[in-house]
């Protein structure tokens, strides 16, 4: 093949150098393409515990501020306990009365049993006493259950944190009257990870334990190290509210995405991470940790 005119005046050593650069660039591109998988459809994820009222009443105290760190079991707010204290005391009195009635019925049963043995009473009279004991036992059990429920309601007037984390989305205020199930605030756990939605065509060589380098948009230039922790058993479409019914109507093939959980080696110690931040992970397919 004849050399093109514009290359004839270029020394061969430069041509060889250029060809070598092109070969190296193509080889590096192929190496990157076959050794790594990346996506920008990823975000920081974590446990968010919504806190709602379990009893109704007026909020008499709010003990936390927005974005405050709290420990598991720490009291966040208090609902007026006056009504629930009265109900607990009434239930306790009912339990004592039921216990006394049961004790008296059992004593009568013991006396009637002796009389029956001496044939001084009929079997029917004894059966009535036995029935009274069973009814008294049932009443005692109901009274105990009502007392337990009253104590549980009283306990729920103290709204506590279910996990360690940071208070977020606080809407409760002192003096507010809340209903059962009404959202009050959320506690965001410090245990965070990355949820990355890779295309199904990127999953062939991805395995649990693959090292991952993660860029987070909030911290340009910072690289977080992590690993593939688990792969969801199904695409995002499979768990959607209205999954596609591909067996009916016209079918259009769409590349699906598979959620992959990536845990961090340094979970936001130097750079705090919170759920919702955008991320771009790059998975190293060559090895596993």
**76 occurs within a structural domain:** no
**Does residue 199 sit in the same domain as residue 273?**
yes
Distances in Å between the Cα of 208 and the Cα atoms of 8, 32, 234, 254 are: 54, 20, 16, 26
Return the pLDDT at 244.
Answer: 72
Secondary structure element (H or E) that encloses residue 124, with its range: helix 123-155
CATH number for position 92:
1.10.287.470
**What tokens appear for 163 in the block?**
């996990």
For the cut 60, the answer to whether the pLDDT of residue 28 exceeds it is no
Specify the pLDDT at position 242. Answer: 73
Residue 186 has pLDDT above 80, yes or no: yes
| 144 & 224 share domain | no
Is pLDDT at 166 greater than 90 in this prediction? yes
Q: What is the residue range of 234's domain?
A: 37-46+190-284
State the total domains in the chain: 2
pLDDT band at residue 34 under the 50/70/90 scheme: low
- The answer, yes or no, to whether residue 115 has pLDDT greater than 60, is yes
Number of H helices, E strands in the chain: 4, 13
Crossing angle (nearest 10°) for helices 123-155 and 82-117: 160
Mean pLDDT computed over 259-273? 84
- pLDDT averaged over the chain? 86
What's residue 8's pLDDT?
55
pTM value is 0.75
175: buried, middle or exposed (CB in 10 Å: 19+, 13-18, 0-12)?
A: exposed
pLDDT of res. 267 = 66
| Residue that finishes a domain, picked among 156, 182, 209 | 156
Residue 194 and residue 127 share a domain? no
Pairing label, strands 278-284, 257-264: unpaired
Query: Which letter does DSSP use for residue 115 in this model?
Result: H
CATH code for the domain of 280: 2.40.30.170
């Amino acid at each position: 093949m004849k050399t093109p005119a514009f290359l004839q005046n270029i020394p061969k050593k430069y041509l060889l150098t250029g060809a070598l650069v092109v070969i190296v660039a193509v080889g590096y591109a192929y190496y990157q393409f076959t050794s790594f998988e990346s996506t920008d459809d990823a975000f920081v994820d974590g446990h968010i515990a919504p806190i709602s009222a379990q009893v109704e009443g007026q909020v008499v105290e709010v003990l936390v501020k927005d974005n405050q760190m709290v420990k598991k079991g720490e009291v966040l707010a208090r609902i007026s306990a006056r009504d629930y204290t009265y109900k607990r005391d009434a239930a306790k009195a009912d339990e004592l009365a039921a216990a006394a009635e049961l004790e008296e019925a059992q004593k009568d049963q013991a006396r009637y049993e002796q009389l029956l043995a001496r044939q001084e009473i009929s079997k029917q009279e004894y059966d009535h006493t036995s029935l009274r004991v069973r009814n008294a036992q049932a009443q005692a059990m109901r009274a105990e259950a009502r007392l337990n429920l009253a104590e549980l309601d009283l306990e729920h007037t103290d709204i506590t944190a279910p996990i360690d984390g940071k208070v977020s989305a606080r809407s409760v205020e002192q003096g507010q009257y809340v209903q059962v199930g009404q959202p009050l605030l959320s506690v965001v756990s410090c245990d965070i990870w990355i949820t990355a939605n890779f295309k199904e065509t990127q999953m062939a060589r991805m395995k649990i334990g693959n090292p991952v380098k993660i860029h987070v948009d909030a911290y340009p230039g910072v690289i977080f190290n992590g690993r593939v922790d688990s792969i969801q058993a199904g695409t995002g479409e499979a768990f959607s509210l209205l999954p596609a019914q591909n067996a009916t109507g016209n079918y259009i093939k769409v590349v699906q995405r598979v959620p992959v959980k990536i845990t961090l080696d340094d979970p936001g110690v130097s750079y705090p991470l919170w759920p919702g931040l955008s991320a771009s992970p790059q998975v190293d397919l060559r090895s596993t940790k």
